[in-house]
Structure 1
Amino acid sequence: MKKRYLIALTGVLSFGLAMVFPTVQRRAATSHIWRLAESAAALPAKPVVPTFGQADRVIGRNFGKRVYLFHGLPGLDGYWQSPDRQALVDALQEDGSQIVVVRLPRARQAFYADGGAAYCQAFRTWFSAFERGVSQRYGAAREYTVGISYGGYHAMLAAQDPTIDGWAAISPVTDLSRLDEFRWQSNSRCQPSTPSIAAKPGLMVYGRHDRRVGSDLLSAAAARIEGGGNDRFEAADFDAKGHGLSEEMVAKVEQWYGLQPPVT
């Protein structure tokens, strides 16, 4: 309880300091503080049990390749409608793939109060059953996971499932405490298994100036996967603006995915 009061007091003081900045900087600072406050407020003694689900529809028909697409923060609603993200969806569709859009739980909840152990277990159990249901309904296919940011993190987690043939993570989160939404939590017990995902075709793309998830952390994560001796993994960094998705990054994912074979 004392920690909560300390965090709240820090937020109030920070808000006061933010008011001395110009309008644009003030807006950014206020948004930052608000996310921190929401994250701090969602810290019960035990982690919250997450709820996962499929989005509105499955896009396209099954021509032998299927993508499970994971969105980033703050949530699914409207996420894939921005031009840059829609370009990614279009690029995956052009390859003749069926796309299954996954709805992740709403952020700013205490999913990782225990280091993420309960969250990881819940996600693995859910995704295994979910994939099985999709395959039974739509037929066999080579299956891949693709995600952006927080979704990239989940794409890597999902790639641990033995049914998944490969994965692509765009600016994935590796340390959740870097995000304001989970600042006071940790995913130290919910990390993608390097040996598991390194044994499959994989791609990681990110911007060199990404301060939200940390370009240094992504570079280190890529080095760990490459260190496993997997010649089917590729990492590429780009001169993208901040945490954004550039045309070059989309083109790289499209190129990589186009090389992945369909089911035979």
Structure 2
Amino acid sequence: MKKRIAGAALLGAVLFGIAAKGAIRETSTRVRASIEWARGGRQTAHFTPNEKVLTPADWRGARIYLFSGLHNGPGMWDQPMFRPLVKHLLANGWQIVIMDSHVTVARHFDDGGISYCRALREWIDDTDHRLDRATPARHRVLFGISFGGYQAMMATAQLPWVDGYVAISPVTRIQALSEFWFQNNDRCNPFGVSKELSTRPGFVSYGDSDNRVNSVLIKDLVEQVRPTTIVHPGKGHEAIEEYRPSLRWLADLDLAV
């Protein structure tokens, strides 16, 4: 009996050691990757023109830019959750521009976001001018979810030709995201352009329990900017699914007629 107990104890210790070693290795890998990412040197923010344009047959001049979440990429709008949004916009006469705003390099914010804001503004401005040469637009709205909401707000504040913006569960402070814990966007965040945003029609919705982007930060921002705001009680970042109220807000803008 004593031998069996001793054997079981020894086996348990070995298995525990293997598991602990694996956990330590995994943690060490994550930490090492983060340190390498942080120390990798400055990289200039750059966006590659690679948009997808959907134009309804009865288009009358209203253009909407769609910006996806941090890790989703433009394929986000083909997902079952968001496909009805795209269909609704097309049915209501919007020309849709799906922007490839995938972000993988946190070092864009080494300078507090100055280069990032400049690159974002130039990217969207150049895209719009290029599209206008083929199909001139009369109205333009920027629509973003999560990190895309951050992009929509920052571009709106910098581009005078934007008629309004929609930000669903938007990022405000970049360091709120675990991927960007070692960075800051103190020189490229919606709080710094709250005056400019407050002069534009805007819609913001979020869950009041969102730990992904920090709902307290969004609450503080909307109190400064005063856009049309909807808060979803008890919801976290899954509130990105609650985009339908924004479609009613877009209809009230009356830009697609």
- Scaled by the length of structure 2, the TM-score of the pair is 0.80
Q: 1:236 aligns with which of 226, 230, 234?
A: 230
Aligned residue for 1:72? 69
- With over 3 angstroms needed to count, the CA separation of the structure-2 counterparts of 1:54 and 1:39, relative to structure 1, is farther
Cα shift at 1:43: 2.5
Aligned residue for 1:177? 175
Q: Which runs of 5+ in 1 are unaligned?
A: 1-14, 21-29, 227-232
1:1-264 matches, cutoff 5 A: 19=23, 34=30, 38-44=33-39, 46-55=41-50, 57-61=52-56, 62-76=59-73, 78-160=75-157, 161-192=159-190, 193-226=193-226, 233-239=227-233, 241-245=235-239, 249-262=242-255
Cα shift at 1:60: 2.0
Distance 1:245 1:52 in 2: 28
Q: Over residues 97-155 of structure 1, what are the superposed CA-to-partner deviations in whole Å (9 max), with x where a residue is unaligned?
A: 01101112432431101111111112222222222112222112210000001000000
Q: Report the residue type matching 2:186 in the other structure.
A: S
Q: Which runs of 5+ in 2 are unaligned?
A: 1-18
- With over 3 angstroms needed to count, the CA separation of the structure-2 counterparts of 1:144 and 1:209, relative to structure 1, is same
Distance 1:198 1:38 in 2: 39
Aligned residue for 2:5? none
Distance 1:250 1:83 in 2: 13
- With over 3 angstroms needed to count, the CA separation of the structure-2 counterparts of 1:184 and 1:132, relative to structure 1, is same
Aligned residue for 1:11? none
- Scaled by the length of structure 1, the TM-score of the pair is 0.78
Distance 1:46 1:113 in 2: 9
- With over 3 angstroms needed to count, the CA separation of the structure-2 counterparts of 1:185 and 1:66, relative to structure 1, is same
- With over 3 angstroms needed to count, the CA separation of the structure-2 counterparts of 1:75 and 1:208, relative to structure 1, is same
Q: Over residues 198-256 of structure 1, what are the superposed CA-to-partner deviations in whole Å (9 max), with x where a residue is unaligned?
A: 11110000112111001111111100112xxxxxx211111364211465x22211101
Distance 1:245 1:90 in 2: 20
SS of match in other structure, 1:53: coil
- Contact 1:59 1:100 (C-alpha < 8 Å) held by counterparts: yes
Q: Could you list the structure 1 runs, at least 4 aligned residues long, displaced by more than 4 angstroms after superposition.
A: 15-20, 36-39
Identical aligned pairs, as a percentage?
Answer: 30
SS of match in other structure, 1:194: helix
Q: Report the residue type matching 2:170 in the other structure.
A: P
SS of match in other structure, 1:66: strand
**Aligned residues between the structures:** 232
Distance 2:32 2:100 in 1: 24
SS of match in other structure, 1:135: helix
CA RMSD of the aligned region, Å? Answer: 2.7
- With over 3 angstroms needed to count, the CA separation of the structure-2 counterparts of 1:77 and 1:162, relative to structure 1, is closer
* Rg comparison, structure with higher value: 2
